[in-house]
Amino acid sequence: MPRHEVVSPIPGVFYRRPDPDSPPFAEDGASVTDDSPVGLVEVMKSFHQIPAGASGTVVEFLVGDEDEVDAGQPVAVVETA
């Protein structure tokens, strides 16, 4: 099956959940649509959602929660139909 890499649009800190008390936006095996958020990138106290960019199933996250990421760095992989 084809795969789509979800990339960070900006450099910053990657978060898998909207806040510490909430569940993750998506887990491995979750179904997502193009605009489903898979995480956030925070830079200078500004948070930017990262949409999946493709419909399918999240097969893996390539970075951990609170890891620093660069612009264009893949953060997750979505298997598309």
pLDDT of residue 17: 96
Look at residue 49 in the predicted model and tell me its pLDDT. Answer: 96
What is the CATH number assigned to the segment(s) 3-80? 2.40.50.100
Nearest to 4 by CA among 62, 56, 39, 41: 56
| pLDDT reported for residue 1 | 79
Amino acid present at 37: P
Residue 36 per-residue DSSP state: -
pLDDT at 81: 77
pLDDT in tens, the chain (81 residues): 799 999 999 999 999 999 999 999 999 999 999 999 999 999 999 999 999 999 999 999 999 999 999 999 999 999 997
Contact 44, 25 (CB under 8 A): no
Residue 34: what pLDDT?
Answer: 96
- The SS3 call for residue 52 is coil
Q: Where are the domains of the chain?
A: 3-80
